[in-house]
A = this chain, B = another copy of it.
Amino acid sequence: MGDDVPPDHPRHDSLVTRERVVDGVERGITSRAGLVAQGRGEAFDYLLGEQTVESAARAERAAAALLLRADHPVVSVNGNVAALVPEAVGGLARAAGADVEVNLFHRTEARVERIAAHLRANGVEEVKGLTAEARIPGLDHERAKVDADGIAAADVVLVPLEDGDRAAALAATGTEEIVVDLNPLSRSARAATVPVVDNVVRAVPAMAAHARALADRPPADLDDIVARFDADAARADAERAIRSGEL
């Protein structure tokens, strides 16, 4: 996987990331539509300079604090996230005491099963999303499916790479969302309590590291970190970085 990309290639990281998603399609865990979404992300990341901008680093710390202070945090995983950062998902879930739930836009039971197996093979002990007996109101049947004791019962959900409709419908239930999206003005990013404008391959490991670093902080400190995070300012900062980037 990525073995044929020379390590000194100027676009090495981006090409290896792309191959990981192509590999996900070959394993049946990433949808073909997910490959298009990857290309879309590549274009925005390119404009962003393929780096974690300062406001995104602050968002990742606030996201970790929000997960740590939650009563029932859940990390939502789709086919792209599973292909790209399966180990980091597990690391973040353990550090933040969060559930991991498979949650697909193009849901098939077979793909849910394969993603769950892939996550378990990468160190995630318990995977939710297989029963999916609850529904998020305001979405059509297939798109609405979530676990009753998972996302449906969560107070904070990390939804990396989520569809705008679904992010808005979940926010409408009062659930706080952390969204990872390279478009700072997407409906998903605007629905989020904490929008993280960064590539998921950088964002999830960074959030895991922050969660470990903040694990012993008292709740008041975590609340303070979340309160000091300004979502509008972070989105505006990321937008400036994208607009001024080299085409």
Contact = CB atoms under 8 A, between A and B. Distances in A.
Given A32-B25, A33-B18, A247-B183, A9 B165 contact: yes
A185 B43 contact: no
Could you tell me the dominant secondary structure of chain A's interface residues? helix
A218 interface: no
A48 to B, nearest CB: 11
A19 to B, nearest CB: 7
Interface stretch (A34-42, A117-125, A150-158): A34-42
A243 interface: yes
A25 B164 CA distance: 25
A191 to B, nearest CB: 13
Contact of A40 (B21, B42, B242): B42
A149 to B, nearest CB: 27
A11 interface: yes
Interface of A: 4, 6, 9-11, 18-19, 21-22, 25-26, 32-33, 35-44, 46, 106, 140, 142-143, 164-165, 183-187, 239, 242-244, 246-247
